[in-house]
Amino acid sequence: MDPSTDHFTPPVEVPASQVPAAEQQLSALSDLLQHIDAPANPTDSEGARHNQLIQVRLGIASGLFIALRSKHAPTAHHCLRVALGCSAWALTMNLAAEERDELEVAALLHDVGKIGVPDDVLMKPGKLTHDEAVMIERYRGVGDEILRACCSSHALLEIIQLSGAWYDGSLHGFEKHGSDLPLGARMIAIVDAFDSMTNDDVYRRGLSRERAVAELFQCAGTQFDPELVESYCQHLQCHDVDLSANVASHWLQQLHPERANSLWQLSDNASLFQTKSINDLYHLKLLESMHDGVVFVDSSKKIIHWNRAAERLTGISSKSVLERQWSPSLIQLHDENHAPITDADCPLADAIDSCVQGLRRLTVRSRDGKRTPVDAQVIPVFGPGGTRYGGTLLLHDASSRTTLEERVQSLHLRATRDPLTQVANRSEFDRVHSQFISTHLEVGLPYSLIICDIDHFKSVNDTFGHANGDEALRQFSKMLKTQCRSGDLVARYGGEEFVMLCADCDIATATERADSIRDIIAKTPQSAVDGRCLTASFGVTELQSGDTEDTMLRRADRALYLAKERGRNRVVQLGSGGDSSVPIHQPAPSSWLAWSAGDALPADALQVELFTPVPISVVQDKMKGFVSDHHATMEPSNDTTITVVIEGPHTPLQQRATDRPVSFFIQLDLQQAERLNDHCKGETAG
């Protein structure tokens, strides 16, 4: 696996003279933390906030981080995410101030040695050779040399040096292992790995949070400290919206220049950024809305833009290729004779060198692994006097096959509408939801469903009237539609509940989108409620093998219910996606029955084994209570067989009138085995 990473400390009161600056910094950091998983190509204003954050934490050492960002921006963004993650975790652990300082600075600079890695290795779009892998591993030594020249803290240096060590000592090259490793090094190793696993790379998509957590547990005791893995996963599970404010309070209210520069010499060199012009916003919107793939490279052939259509065509995300060196092999570009195009024959490189544009019919490897014909247009970009700035590659899908997104979009355009909100109605949702499931299962692409509910909507109607309540629903649906991509569907499920069908979208991306929508809603004043802000709760799930329309919808609805139970104004996801190769860690069951997976399941039934340390007679009594609670019937059977029938329409546990109950047939075959010990005299298996 690639390395990458209960009480809150109350905020400290800021002197009145520092309030404006502190509030400005607090707002900047809170916004950054809310979007910490955003793509690694920040806007200019986001870059300014990044710089402000680094200045607060590192002081004069900010120059080291800026140098790393100039060398390789994705690595710098990764270090910042790891530092913020460690800071939030440290707050929940109530670490001492000195330990937190060392941890946060070490996390920000743990990859600074990559400044010394050659560009052709660090930005290589393909897999590294053995020699290149050895070369890139030397960055730890380079980082040690850089920091020793300017850092006098032995503890800080040791944390960074040992952050790559394995807990059991099986990785050679490190002199300590186990509990002898500094606490900060063990924490950075976990957050580093988690961040790497949950973010896209050029070779793979990022894992969902559940799969990444499972991988951490799988490596607990070997690569990671098992107790810290448990602590970190509990921290992730209990992560709350208010945690951002606590981290902001620690970084911006409790850190002073003298403290931030205790290891460095103070410097006041802040980078200046210009705000994007209106024309830039138009150009960016145009690029992201185009159906043709657009790739920008600079004069050194480094990729500086990769639009969504290019992602859709090639299956490679922009986050995994930005700042990397362009090569035809990145998208497996073939010529008219179906032969691979080499770097020497690259049409984009030729256009930049000759300042002459061209158009050729080529083929690329599409996301489904097949060859797709494209009309590839290469356009050089040069200024007055012939100064070459780079080039543009346009990829137009020349195949007769309509893309999945275009088929879904045509369904959306023909959709029937909800008369109040003008989004798709319940009937159209049912039809498109069924179509999405069959289509995505057929082509093997991920599909996610988001269900959301306005919090305390009844009080809106009671306080402001039903007319204003209707207007609030219209405004809420408009915000959902503005966050909807081409090919997605927004529908009104009933009352104040809405659903969003996310085509070609895994659960990690859908959860990120849901949280972004939640944040926008919570910060947008609504005229229908006298300028106040509404909040909403979200449930997210992803299509899994064997899912039907009902099972997927019910799983999302359960996630929404959990979000409501946990306090509202939050996002809860259930399910780990369709193709999970990593076992999901589950805590030990606390109920009186312990479940374990049985043999291979038939297509039309769920078969499991249950173990409980009680006699058969107790199990039978328990089942009688279950039958009574669910208005079920118990069929005649012998002493070792129990047959229960639950008719869906008679189930009393429906949460709302629109719920669709499902009938169940349950047959329990009971066996009893004697296991003598200090606690019980027998165990029933069924």
Domains 16-260 and 404-573 share a fold: no
Rounded percentage of the chain residues whose pLDDT exceeds 70: 70
Compute the distance between CA of residue 100 and CA of residue 155 in angstroms, rounded to an integer. 12
Give the pLDDT band (50/70/90) at residue 180.
very high
Q: Which is nearest to 566 in space by CA: 248, 93, 241?
A: 241
Compute the distance between CA of residue 279 and CA of residue 460 in angstroms, rounded to an integer. 40
Given this model, what pLDDT does residue 192 score?
Answer: 92
Given this model, what pLDDT does residue 405 score?
Answer: 54
Q: Is 455 exposed, middle or buried, given 0-12, 13-18 or 19+ CB atoms closer than 10 A? A: buried
Top mean pLDDT of 22-36, 146-160, 534-548, 671-685 is at: 534-548
Lowest-confidence pick of 387-401, 456-470, 541-555, 640-654 = 640-654
Give the pLDDT band (50/70/90) at residue 261.
low
Kindly list the distances between the CA atom of residue 294 and the CA atoms of 75, 366, 373, 405, 599, in Å, as whole numbers in the listed order: 24, 15, 16, 17, 49
346 vs 624, which has greater pLDDT?
Answer: 346
Kindly list the distances between the CA atom of residue 345 and the CA atoms of 119, 329, 339, 348, 351, in Å, as whole numbers in the listed order: 22, 11, 11, 9, 11
Given this model, what pLDDT does residue 294 score?
Answer: 95
Given this model, what pLDDT does residue 13 score?
Answer: 39
pLDDT in tens, 57-110: 666 667 788 888 888 888 888 888 888 888 888 888 888 888 888 888 888 888
70 vs 6, which has greater pLDDT?
Answer: 70
Given this model, what pLDDT does residue 131 score?
Answer: 64
Say whether domain 404-573 belongs to CATH 3.30.70.270: yes
| Mean pLDDT value across the chain | 76
- This prediction has a pTM of 0.40
Lowest-confidence pick of 80-94, 131-145, 312-326 = 131-145
Q: Which is nearest to 237 in space by CA: 222, 219, 252, 216?
A: 216
DSSP letter (8 states) at residue 149:
T
Compute the distance between CA of residue 590 and CA of residue 263 in angstroms, rounded to an integer. 49
Lowest-confidence pick of 375-384, 392-401, 639-648 = 639-648
Q: Residues 377, 356: contact at Cβ < 8 Å?
A: no
Which CATH code for domain 16-260? 1.10.3210.10
Given this model, what pLDDT does residue 222 score?
Answer: 93
Given this model, what pLDDT does residue 25 score?
Answer: 43
Question: Does 409 have pLDDT greater than 70?
Answer: no
Domain ranges of the chain: 16-260, 278-397, 404-573, 594-685
pLDDT in tens, 13-59: 334 344 344 444 444 444 544 444 444 445 555 555 555 556 656 66
Q: Per-residue pLDDT averaged across 111-116, rounded?
A: 88
Q: Which is nearest to 158 in space by CA: 136, 138, 137, 175?
A: 175
Rounded percentage of the chain residues whose pLDDT exceeds 90: 21
Query: How does DSSP assign 228-278, residue by residue?
Result: HHHHHHHHHHT--TTHHHHHHIIIIIS--HHHHTTTS---------PPPPH
Question: Does 599 have pLDDT greater than 50?
Answer: no
H-helix or E-strand spanning residue 617: helix 616-629
DSSP letter (8 states) at residue 369:
S
Reply yes or no on whether 496 is catalytic: yes
Longest dimension (CA), the chain: 94
Question: Does 375 have pLDDT greater than 50?
Answer: yes
Given this model, what pLDDT does residue 514 score?
Answer: 92
Give the pLDDT band (50/70/90) at residue 584.
very low
Which CATH code for domain 278-397? 3.30.450.20
Question: Does 182 have pLDDT greater than 70?
Answer: yes
User: Which of the residues 496, 497, 512, 542 is marked catalytic?
Assistant: 496
End-to-end CA distance of the chain: 39
Lowest-confidence pick of 15-24, 31-40, 370-379, 428-437 = 15-24
Given this model, what pLDDT does residue 417 score?
Answer: 82
Q: Is 596 helix (H, G, I), strand (E, B) or coil?
A: strand
Given this model, what pLDDT does residue 406 score?
Answer: 61
Question: Does 252 have pLDDT greater than 60?
Answer: no
Give the pLDDT band (50/70/90) at residue 536.
very high
| Tokens of residue 207, six digits | 């894992």
